[in-house]
């Protein structure tokens, strides 16, 4: 599952934090692993709560939080929730240009032990949101270089802020297979028009896709969650 949670701020309630709503959306899908973007940890705007830890506790999952930036007295970044334990966790800073509006972005990378003595690498990211593709292109190139030759099966999920057919996604497609080719849009949550939230896996991993769905949940966040069922060899 991939879900940009908008720091648990429902769009219809600008001054509210409803982390329980996010937890309910995730729990309804019963995912094994979840990539989360726009996660607040002890920021003022979210009431100084650790959203990553609280979601993990509520859902009874393991958690790894990767900070992207300082924000409002706390941390802001991405997180991975997993039903299964992490054998290893890493954070990789992604490149960006010197535009003052460029926000540092990271790749969270976890090694997850699955039943049947299988292990995968599961990665989560949230790419640059500026209109120009320059930073997203740099960031996808960095991700491709880091993950293309990994020996373990690799699954990447996140808000890539890029639609199919754009330069960043075309570059991603050189190394990864996306879980759908004609994907339903994920934003905005009311009358969605753009597909920018993606799940993909490295081409040579022999992973197969059983299903891919965009969940029609329009209250909890400003993005619709994406769920893929994958068969890992």
**3-state class (DSSP) for residue 23:** helix
- E strand map for the chain: 2-4, 33-41, 62-71, 74-82, 86-94, 105-114, 118-126, 154-159, 176-178, 197-202, 208-214, 226-231
Ramachandran angles phi, psi of 73, nearest 5°: 80, 5
pLDDT of residue 65: 98
CA distances from 105 to 6, 19, 174, 175 (A): 16, 23, 22, 20
List, for residues 45-64, the tens digit of each pLDDT value.
999 999 999 999 999 999 99
Cβ atoms of 161 and 129 within 8 Å: the answer is yes
List, for residues 69-121, the tens digit of each pLDDT value.
999 999 999 999 999 999 999 999 999 999 998 999 999 999 999 998 899 99
Cβ atoms of 89 and 78 within 8 Å: the answer is no
The pair of structure tokens assigned to 203 is 């081409």
List, for residues 6-33, the tens digit of each pLDDT value.
999 999 999 999 999 999 999 999 999 9
Looking at CATH, the fold of the domain delimited by 2-231 is given as Deoxyribonuclease I; Chain A (3.60.10)
Q: Mean of the pLDDT values across residues 193-219?
A: 97
Please check the confidence at residue 233 and state whether its pLDDT lies above 90.
Answer: no
Distance of CA 1 to the CA centre of its chain: 8
pLDDT of residue 165: 96
Domain ranges of the chain: 2-231
């Amino acid at each position: 599952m991939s879900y940009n949670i908008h720091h648990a701020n429902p769009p219809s309630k600008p001054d509210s934090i409803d982390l329980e709503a996010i937890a309910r959306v995730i729990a309804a899908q019963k995912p094994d692993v979840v990539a989360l973007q726009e996660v607040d940890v002890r920021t003022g705007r979210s009431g100084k709560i650790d959203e990553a830890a609280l979601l993990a506790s509520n859902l009874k999952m393991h958690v790894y939080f990767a900070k992207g930036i300082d924000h409002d007295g706390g941390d802001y970044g991405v997180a991975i929730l997993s039903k299964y334990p992490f054998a290893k966790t890493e954070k990789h800073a992604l490149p960006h240009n010197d535009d003052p509006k460029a926000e540092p972005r990271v790749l969270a990378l976890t090694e997850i032990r699955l039943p049947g003595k299988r292990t995968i690498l599961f990665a989560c990211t949230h790419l640059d949101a500026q209109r120009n593709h320059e930073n997203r292109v740099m960031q996808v190139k960095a991700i491709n270089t880091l993950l293309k030759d990994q020996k373990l099966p690799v699954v990447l999920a996140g808000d890539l802020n890029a639609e199919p057919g754009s330069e960043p996604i075309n570059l991603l497609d050189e190394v990864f297979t996306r879980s759908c080719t004609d994907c339903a849009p994920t934003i905005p949550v009311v009358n969605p028009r753009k597909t920018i939230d993606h799940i993909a896996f490295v081409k040579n991993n022999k992973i197969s896709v059983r299903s891919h769905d965009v969940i029609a949940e329009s209250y909890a966040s400003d993005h619709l969650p994406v769920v893929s069922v994958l068969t890992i060899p």
